[in-house]
Structure 1
Amino acid sequence: MIGSPDEDRLTPALWGTAAILTIGGFLSMFTSTVVTVALGTIAAGFRASLGTAQWIATGYLLALAAMVPVSGWACRRFGTTRVWLVCVGLFAVFSALCAAAPSVEALIVFRVLQGAAGGLLVPAGQILFATMAGPKRLGRMMAVLSIPIYLAPVLGTLAGSVLAERCGVPWLFLVNVPLALLCLLLGRKRLPRERPADTRPLDWRGLVLTVTGLPLLVYGFAEAAPIAAAAGALLLAVFVVTALRSPAPLLDLRLFRDRTFSSAAAVIFGMGIALFGAMIVLPLYYLDVRHESLVATGFLTAPLALGTVLALPLAGRLTDRIGGARVIFAGLIVTIIGTVPLALLTGSDDYWWLSAVQVVRGCGIGLTTTPALATGLVSVPKERISHAMPLFAMLQRIGGSFGTSVLTAVVAARLAAAPGSAAAVAGAHGWIAGITAIVLIPAWLLVRAEMSTKD
């Protein structure tokens, strides 16, 4: 038995469910990076330009973003477990089709469809897990579900290089199929069945505004396309106005009226900027300043994920025991401590020292991001979790895209002025430390909100 959501004990059945959903989440994140590192090989194999091949990665990421807003409605309308199982099956099918694609154009189409399935898969798993765990187990269980988010980019970078070189391009996609089929078989046996909670019709206006606005905004930030970014921001602004007036919106923005929820959302957005922006910046140091290979860079940046994964179990336990707000505030301090040395980079820093710094920074991230998610969900009624989770995911994606765009522009401008200069990467980390310090403001508001709730 999984146990009542009001229980504190982690049952074996709940751990089994966690394992199934974690593998599903890992698939979606893993295939994002495993293909990106091999784009040059894929382009050569299809005799396509690198610009065309780039859409294999970009199309997948945009499809991921487009499906996030609709995931909550799909789970309410058809049942979360059913949505998750269908998406796992479709993910396996589209992975196989990608492997068999006869042209680069066909591969791009199949990757977009694969991204659409993955875009529903992750939030559906999170919604299901948050509903089953309940508020007293949410911190520990969300920590478990977060592990693939941080491990997948590291493993994907390493696996992509090896698979493309030794097994061939089709195996970049076929590697997903057995794991997806395993999830499908275990999920049919172990995951709970629930009846659809909401039979109200789809908010088509909200759907059109979000599935066009969010990808346009993400694309505009990622590709430095101001017109696309402005159009996406405008569409999302119109969605905000219409959603607040609608009796049955696609996503219930009234959740932001809760001080705990809105403060947690601000932390998630801010850490999206600092976390995902930094994931782009530090590899540039090893590649362009220290002239390391792609595989070596993957190993040299792995300590960040190691530190995060090591901190997640502690973060989960502390969140369930004392509340997440103080854990988040402490995590931000640790993150800043781990970022400041990177803002002082030189071209000859010892690799062991940089690895230790990354572990510290990773620990801070682990103590911040997942507790923010869990803390924001604690006050959300069970029937509204399917609204809350996509909102958090959207904010994280927007923050990540914005951070990547700004920090990449900062580094590119400084590298253009002084090629191979460590000061360019160091300066970007100075920005990251500053952004993280700003996030202390909503984190402190979250501490006060949590303390007032307990009083």
Structure 2
Amino acid sequence: MSSQSAAAPAKLDGAVLKIAGVVVLGAIMSILDVTVVSVALPTFQKEFNATYAEVAWTMTAYTLALATVIPLTGWAADRFGTKRLYMAALLLFTIGSVLCATADSIGQLIGYRVLQGLGGGMLMPLGMTIMTRAAGPERIGRLMAVLGIPMLLGPIGGPILGGWLIDSYSWHWIFLINLPIGLGALIYAQIVLPADRPEPSESFDFIGMLMLSPGLALFLYGVSSLPEEQTLAANKVWIPMLVGAALVIGFIFYSFKPVHPLLDLRLLRNRNLTVAAITLAVFTVAFMGAGLLFPSYFLQIRGESTLHAGLLMAPQGIGAMVTMPIAGVLADKIPVGRTVPFALLLIAGGFYTFTQVGTDTSYLLLCGSLFVMGLGMGGTMMPIMTSALRTLTNHEVARGSTLLNILQQIAGSVGSAVMSVILTSELNGSPAIPGVTNPETGAPVTEAGLAMAAQSDPSIAASIPDPTLIERGLQFAADAFANTFTVGFVLMALTIVPALFLPRKHEESHLLDDENVPPVVLH
């Protein structure tokens, strides 16, 4: 281990915390923009006279842009330097946010969301690289705990902030709020980020880019179309999924040939990185996929407002805030293989409650379960990241974090699509109301569909002569949510299996052992 790392103080000093502040600001903007927009979809439908399937692409387009640009981040960080690239990503994201607020049509909004995603996709992997180099291997666990803050604030603060801005002002402000935050982050970054020198330019892997970026975008496009089409047989689903998968598989075989591939899969020879990546992928599919449905349960089954649904989700974040700082310290002292499996057991225990939800399940029980899940979440994601990055050299960190971020994007998209398909399929099994059809699609209206619509629109409930119809429909819908959560619970329990293979002994870190990396100067 280098003398530099050996001399690193045990606690995070002021210089490192200032750098962490810049990275957290950027990550908060990027992650918040996913959850804030999710509560604005009904507003977009009214404003742009669009269908739900059309406005849903405001979220999907952002995710596709993230997946497309993330593979380029590792190469670009080496070529241009992390500070310049991070500031460029902040600027691009901020400009995209302002343009979103000026959109006059749903098509324009989707296009501007792509621009936002191109900037946002680089913020997280670059931020992880900057923070990891600044702290050194002995403090990476505590630093990852700091980076976990935006991971918590996104799911908690997004629905609350989005609901408040839309109700009190207008939908434009969910994007305009990024302008002062983005400008502040740019100034802050210029002042406190380390002055790094770009490394000698490596040859850019154009062939890899032509396979991986379009491949990821096409595959995730097909996956994201699944909830809308409801079948793998739809051309909009299977054709892009097949072509995208073929391009990605082709890239996997090709990537071992170039000296400097776009995505360095050779890093997977590192056992710790591979085990952590598998654990992270299964965890993300289960938790992020089903986790997006928790607010929907409160909105559609319990009839809560957007703001109240967001507040009901807060116990999960509070629980994570309790354990995340502790987990960060422990990750630097105790091998994560001895802590993460227990944290996953907590999540699974809290998750189980949601497999039993009904139309009147106690909020005290649900909020208590979310708190327990939060306790487990605080001890899971960042320690896994710590395990993955600890044994990489300084030169490998940018590419390692890029690999993990791509994996998270794919797993999150797949998890969301799968859970949405399962829920929709369950809801479609509800009895149809004789003689009643949807005026837009002509499809029969089910008891569950009408009951959930009545929860959000009192005028619909007042026009239904048979009140037992709403009761039956809500009960069926609640059962559909419970069955979907059961799938998430099983996947969460399965996450414990790869977690058992995480390191159970301390291994020497090689983070600062790369002699080719110039020293980082902290201001």
State the TM-score bracket (shorter-chain normalisation).
over 0.9
Aligned twin of 1:101 = 103
Larger deviation: 162-171 or 40-49?
A: 40-49
Aligned twin of 1:112 = 114
Aligned twin of 1:11 = 13
**What is the deviation of 1:48?**
4.2
2:481 maps to 1:425: yes
Aligned twin of 1:348 = 360
SS at match of 1:210: helix
Cα distance change, pair 96–443 in 1 and its aligned pair in 2 (3 A): same
SS at match of 2:12: coil
**What is the deviation of 1:69?**
1.0
Larger deviation: 372-381 or 61-70?
A: 61-70
Aligned twin of 1:319 = 331
Q: Distance in 2 between matches of 1:26 and 1:102?
A: 27
Aligned twin of 1:133 = 135
**What is the deviation of 1:451?**
5.8
Larger deviation: 105-114 or 67-76?
A: 105-114
Q: Distance in 1 between matches of 2:124 and 2:405?
A: 10
**What is the deviation of 1:4?**
4.6
SS at match of 1:446: coil
SS at match of 1:244: coil
Paired residues for 1:211-250 under 5 Å: 211-224=213-226, 225-250=237-262
**What is the deviation of 1:349?**
1.4
Paired residues for 1:67-106 under 5 Å: 67-106=69-108
Partner letter of residue 92 of structure 1?
T
Aligned twin of 1:293 = 305
Larger deviation: 342-351 or 419-428?
A: 419-428
Q: Distance in 2 between matches of 1:241 and 1:198?
A: 27
**What is the deviation of 1:331?**
1.0
Larger deviation: 66-75 or 412-421?
A: 412-421
**What is the deviation of 1:24?**
0.9
Q: Distance in 1 between matches of 2:46 and 2:483?
A: 35
Q: Distance in 1 between matches of 2:488 and 2:131?
A: 31
**What is the deviation of 1:213?**
1.6
Larger deviation: 378-387 or 38-47?
A: 38-47
**What is the deviation of 1:194?**
0.8
Larger deviation: 212-221 or 130-139?
A: 212-221
2:395 maps to 1:339: no
2:457 maps to 1:445: no
**What is the deviation of 1:425?**
2.0
Q: Distance in 2 between matches of 1:313 and 1:9?
A: 12
Cα distance change, pair 281–105 in 1 and its aligned pair in 2 (3 A): closer
Aligned twin of 1:42 = 44
369, 373, 395: which is aligned to 2:385? Answer: 373
Larger deviation: 394-403 or 375-384?
A: 394-403
Query: C-alpha deviations, 1:43-82, integer Å up to 9, x for none?
Result: 4334444443333222122111211111111111110111
Cα distance change, pair 309–220 in 1 and its aligned pair in 2 (3 A): farther
Calculate the aligned-residue CA RMSD, in Å. Answer: 2.0
SS at match of 2:204: coil
Q: Distance in 1 between matches of 2:410 and 2:87?
A: 27
The sequence identity of aligned pairs, in percent, is 33
**What is the deviation of 1:417?**
2.0
Partner letter of residue 363 of structure 1?
L
2:210 maps to 1:208: yes
Partner letter of residue 364 of structure 2?
W
2:313 maps to 1:257: no
Contact 1:5 1:134 in 2 (8 A): yes
Q: How many residues align?
A: 451
Contact 2:391 2:508 in 1 (8 A): no
Larger deviation: 284-293 or 137-146?
A: 284-293
Q: Distance in 2 between matches of 1:165 and 1:183?
A: 27
2:492 maps to 1:436: yes
Q: Distance in 2 between matches of 1:73 and 1:37?
A: 35
**What is the deviation of 1:242?**
0.6
Larger deviation: 198-207 or 260-269?
A: 198-207
The gaps in structure 2 that reach 5 residues or longer are 227-236, 431-447, 449-473, 510-523
SS at match of 1:299: helix
**What is the deviation of 1:25?**
0.7
Query: C-alpha deviations, 1:299-338, integer Å up to 9, x for none?
Result: 2222222222322111101101112221211111111111
Partner letter of residue 42 of structure 1?
F
Query: C-alpha deviations, 1:71-107, integer Å up to 9, x for none?
Result: 1111111101110011112222222222223443333
Contact 1:127 1:385 in 2 (8 A): yes
Contact 1:158 1:295 in 2 (8 A): yes
Contact 1:77 1:199 in 2 (8 A): yes
Q: Distance in 1 between matches of 2:322 and 2:285?
A: 22
Between structure 1 and structure 2, the one with the greater Rg is 2
Aligned twin of 2:322 = 310
**What is the deviation of 1:452?**
7.7
Q: Distance in 2 between matches of 1:45 and 1:415?
A: 27
2:424 maps to 1:409: no
Contact 1:5 1:131 in 2 (8 A): no
Contact 2:65 2:117 in 1 (8 A): yes
Partner letter of residue 287 of structure 1?
L
2:405 maps to 1:393: yes
Partner letter of residue 319 of structure 1?
A
Query: C-alpha deviations, 1:134-173, integer Å up to 9, x for none?
Result: 2111111111111112212321212222222322232221
Cα distance change, pair 262–423 in 1 and its aligned pair in 2 (3 A): same
Q: Distance in 2 between matches of 1:115 and 1:377?
A: 25
TM-score normalised by L of structure 1? 0.94
Q: Distance in 1 between matches of 2:54 and 2:422?
A: 26
Q: Distance in 2 between matches of 1:240 and 1:401?
A: 20
2:282 maps to 1:270: yes
Cα distance change, pair 101–240 in 1 and its aligned pair in 2 (3 A): same
Paired residues for 1:173-184 under 5 Å: 173-184=175-186
Paired residues for 1:15-30 under 5 Å: 15-30=17-32
Larger deviation: 393-402 or 286-295?
A: 286-295
The gaps in structure 1 that reach 5 residues or longer are none
Q: Distance in 1 between matches of 2:186 and 2:5?
A: 24
